[in-house]
Structure formats: structure tokens, C-alpha cells
Amino acid sequence: MSIFSGLFRNLPIQRKLAVVIQLTCAAALAVTAVAIFFVQLTQFRQNFTSDMAATGQMLANHATGAVTFKDRASAEEILLALKTKPAIFYATVTLPTERYLQNSIRGNFRIHPRSRGRTGFISLGRSCCSTNRS
């Protein structure tokens, strides 16, 4: 540490001021960058959640006919639209009797045991799906 303090002590006052100003600006820039990162992360999570809720609502609205008439082909066609959403690993159209009308599984995923027996039109994310490592 004495090497740096010795070098700093031997600098002219203008250089000392320039170094202090540059270090202050660098610290302010670092704090600002971290703050922007966390704001962007929060906005991404909120947008992702609202997008998934909107997707679920649209699927629910489109699947009412398939559920009413127990039409598997129509339910499969509705679930095929989810291929464009890489964040959705698993989706199901479920009858009110808790019997699956149609399932759509992407990749090597299986239904998480806690999600069995729940009625709903769309299940997604880590809370209902886990990797099949057995």
C-alpha cells in the first residue's frame, strides 16, 4: 500500500484531483449500472408474469369449445400454438372432472407430483414441471 500512497503523494495537485474525480465517476457509474440491472430484472419478471397470465387467459377462452364438446383434436390444435413460447414446458386442457383432455409436453419433462389433480388450462414453469433424471 505504501507504493501507491508514495506515488499518489508525489503527484501534482491537478493529477490528484483528476484521479479523485475519475474514481468518483467510476464508482457512480458502477452504482448506476447495478441499479439499472435490478430495475430491468424486476421489469422483466413483471412482464413475463403478465405475458404468461395473458397467454393462459387466451388459451382458456379458446379451449372452452374443446372442453364443452370434449374434442381432443381441437384441444391439441390449441396447445400446438404454445410451440412459439419456449418458456412453456407443459400445458394441459383439463375437464372439470379432473380428467386430462389433452397434454402437451416439450422436451424431457414430467408432471411434478404436486400439480396432479389440479384443474386448469395451463401449467408452466418450475413449480409444476421438473426434469426427468431417473
Tell me what the mean pLDDT of segment 5-23 comes to.
Answer: 89
What integer pLDDT is reported at residue 74 of this predicted model? 86
Residue 126 has pLDDT above 80, yes or no: no
Segment 97-107, tens digit of pLDDT: 767 666 766 66
pLDDT tens, position by position, 46-63: 999 999 889 888 888 888
Once rounded to an integer, what is the mean pLDDT over residues 119-128?
Answer: 43
91-96 long-range contacts (CB < 8 A, ≥24 apart) are 91/59, 91/121, 91/122, 91/123, 91/124, 92/120, 92/121, 92/122, 92/123, 93/63, 93/66, 93/67, 93/121, 94/118, 94/119, 94/120, 94/121, 95/67, 95/70, 95/119, 96/67
